[in-house]
Structure 1
């Protein structure tokens, strides 16, 4: 058969590999394939029959006389279950006649009052109690401030007298307390403060707490430079710093 050049050209355009085969048979089988084919088929069928036969046997086994004793086993289990349920029912029956939960006598009668009492106790604000020494500190601080104001007033009067070429004399008429007349100098004033004990300061304030003329102190004294009341609570050295400031101004 003569090959058509036009067909070859089209095949070459479609698949150059197919055109290169040029009519050769690319399929092949081993030598003697068809002569041994029937033998291999019979062997395959025999193997398949063996597998099918083994699949018909029961893969699981049961104990000996399993089905013979099956009914007896089922009845025994039912009786055991009934006995267990009967025992549980007897236990529950005895409990049902008893109240296993109890509360103290009069619990519900006093419940409302006890609840209100607890609520009132919880709503109270927490009270922080200061130690006894804090009162001593307050008395001491008040006494020192009072003496500092007296001393400041004395030195201001003394300085004004020096500027006017006159003398300031501390007498019983110029100070509220006659005992303060002995503190007519800065040295004696500091010695007097240092010699006072806490008990003496407290006793003095309790006895002579109303001697000071508050109006006179407010009018004559300058309290703009005094520390704030909160400074004494937040700073332990507030009073010392204030006294040092006064001494520096006087010197």
Structure 2
């Protein structure tokens, strides 16, 4: 009776709290207590196994899970390539290919080094037409050079003679000329009018070199 009266008293004092549904705040799964002894024995057995095994029984390589996606994609791509390539078209090498590869390379290298290379002969004249055309050009050039040399030679000889005559006149001393006149009693005659006109004509129409060459 006392407990019931006390319950009624607090319900009157806290009617909101008394109006809430009454249930236990903690709950357990169904059959928890029935399976509890088995769960405890299993947990004890696992702990004993852990103490006997120093490390975990299952290990994975480093970055296994980080690279797992790339490995799976690579394996799938490999399978697709195998499915796309028909059978019998695989790459194959002869038997003992890699074992004999080094010796084959060395034998070829030594053979190429010992084999002398013949000198390459380059033909100067590739055709007869080119040969004849070159000979004709050479003959024309030679004839042209000889022609211009012959044309230039007389003019060069005449110029040389004129220079030699002038040099001889300049080399004669005046005293020698005077002595020559005195020794031969040469007197200067007065020229006639015809002689004066002829002298003026000669001086006007002929150069000193031409006069000296005709003396």
Give 1 or 2 for the bigger CA radius of gyration.
2
**TM-score (normalizing by structure 2):** 0.23
Greater share of helix: 2
